[in-house]
Amino acid sequence: MSIGSAHASDKASASASAGAAPTARLEPFVVNLASFDRYLQTIITLQMGAPESADKVKLFMPMVRHAVITTLSSKDYTEIQTVEGKKTLIEELRKKINGALSTKDHDGVQDIFFENFVIQ
* Helical H segments across 19-114, by residue range: 51-59, 61-73, 77-80, 83-101
The tens digit of pLDDT for each residue in 3-59 reads 444 444 443 333 344 458 899 999 999 999 998 899 999 999 999 999 999 999 999
* C-alpha closest to that of 61 among 14, 106, 12, 25: 25
The residues pairing with 119 across neighbouring beta strands, listed in sequence order, are 40
Nearby residues of 77 by Cβ (< 8 Å), 6 or more positions away: 33, 35, 38, 40, 119
* C-alpha closest to that of 34 among 83, 116, 89, 100: 89
The tens digit of pLDDT for each residue in 52-106 reads 999 999 999 999 999 999 999 999 999 999 999 999 999 999 999 999 999 877 8
pTM, to two decimals:
0.81
